[in-house]
Amino acid sequence: MFSYVKGLLLALAAVQFVGASTSLTGQYTCVTIGNYELCGNQWGIANGVGSQNATLISASGNDISWSTTYTWADNENDVKTFTNALSNTAKGVQLSAITSAETTYDWYYNTQSSGLRADVSYDIWFGAAESGTAASSSSSYEIMVWLSGLGGIEPGPTETWETYSFIPSTAGTSITSFSADLNVFFKYLTANEGISTALYVQAIQAGTEAFTGSAELTVSLYSVSLSG
Ligand SMILES: *[C@@H]1O[C@H](CO)[C@@H](O)[C@H](O)[C@H]1NC(C)=O
């Protein structure tokens, strides 16, 4: 009897969860769900003309699914937005202590304009303090992993953070189904690039940077976890 009731409640909860797709409009709108915070993050729109929104499709356990629709013009080398899912659990572990950083990122373009300039990427932040907000002064390094970079864009150094990038896709192609242990890249960075193993992973974001063009992108499954 007890387990039957419990099962029924779980089923009802699951139905409610999937049914409640949430739309994000506005420049810095976010929603916290499960282990993630999904954010529109339209930080660069002063350099462009257009609009964008994001939709939370579902979240369950350590998995999240979402989509975004946008159209942006002007200043083709400037990022307009970084719609992303930030993990609220994969953070606060020292690089020396991490044993694995497993992730899956499955996504596709429902539609894309010709000449679209956009990437699909991870944006990961290392810093001396155990916790720190992504893209803030608490971080010392920005680590990007690009699964796709269309239209001739490529990751470049920023003035604010020392940036390292890993591009497993080749120019103009995309990896639309990505599963990997990010700790392999972290270990490469500490062994070869002088990054201290005493630093912490402060934030792992995964999303899409839009430069110019129109697209509708669906992230069918994203997850990340840190062990250590
Ligand atoms: C979402 O953004 C797209 C692209 O800018 C726009 O065409 C659409 O009307 C927007 N939808 C909502 C609900 O704001």
pLDDT tens digits, one per residue of 19-76: 457 899 999 999 999 999 999 999 999 999 999 999 999 999 999 999 999 999 999 9
Task: Tell me if 140 CB under 6 Å of ligand 1.
Answer: no
pLDDT for 212: 98
Q: What is the DSSP letter of 44?
A: T
CA of 50 to the centre of ligand 1 (A): 10
CA of 25 to the centre of ligand 1 (A): 9
Range of the domain at 50: 24-224
pLDDT at residue 15 tops 90: no
pLDDT for 23: 92
* Average pLDDT score over the chain: 90
Task: Tell me if 113 CB under 6 Å of ligand 1.
Answer: no
In a domain, 117, yes or no: yes
Task: Tell me if 25 CB under 6 Å of ligand 1.
Answer: yes
Pocket test for ligand 1, best of 51, 67, 112 (most atoms within 8 A of CB): 51
Number of domains in the chain: 1
pLDDT for 171: 79
Structure-token pair, residue 220:
């069918």
**Residue 122 sits in a domain of what CATH number?**
2.60.120.180
pLDDT at residue 167 tops 50: yes
The whole-angstrom separation of Cα 142 and Cα 133 is 12
Going through the chain in order, the beta strands assigned E by DSSP cover 22-24, 30-33, 36-39, 49-60, 63-73, 81-87, 93-94, 102-112, 117-127, 141-150, 162-166, 177-181, 200-224
In a domain, 163, yes or no: yes
pLDDT at residue 1 tops 70: no
In a domain, 109, yes or no: yes
pLDDT at residue 82 tops 80: yes
In a domain, 7, yes or no: no
Mean pLDDT for 172-185 is: 95
In a domain, 10, yes or no: no
pLDDT for 142: 95
The whole-angstrom separation of Cα 186 and Cα 195 is 9
pLDDT at residue 6 tops 50: no
In a domain, 58, yes or no: yes
pLDDT for 160: 84
Task: Tell me if 69 CB under 6 Å of ligand 1.
Answer: yes
pLDDT at residue 14 tops 90: no
Tens digit of each residue's pLDDT (9 = 90 or more) over 92-138 = 999 999 999 999 999 999 999 999 999 999 999 999 999 999 999 99
Q: For residue 134, count CB atoms less than 10 angstroms from its CB and return exposed for 0-12, middle for 13-18, buried for 19 or more.
A: buried
CA of 210 to the centre of ligand 1 (A): 15
Residue nearest to atom 11 of ligand 1 (CA): 53
Task: Tell me if 55 CB under 6 Å of ligand 1.
Answer: no
Atom of ligand 1 nearest to the CA of 51: 5
In a domain, 1, yes or no: no
In a domain, 127, yes or no: yes
> Which has the minimum average pLDDT: 6-10, 135-139, 173-177?
6-10
pLDDT at residue 10 tops 80: no
pLDDT at residue 172 tops 90: no
Instruction: Please provide residue 89's backbone torsions phi and psi, each rounded to the nearest 5 degrees.
Output: -115, -35
Task: Tell me if 52 CB under 6 Å of ligand 1.
Answer: yes
Pocket test for ligand 1, best of 53, 66, 81 (most atoms within 8 A of CB): 53
Q: How confident is the model at residue 18 (pLDDT cuts 50, 70, 90)?
A: very low
pLDDT at residue 13 tops 80: no
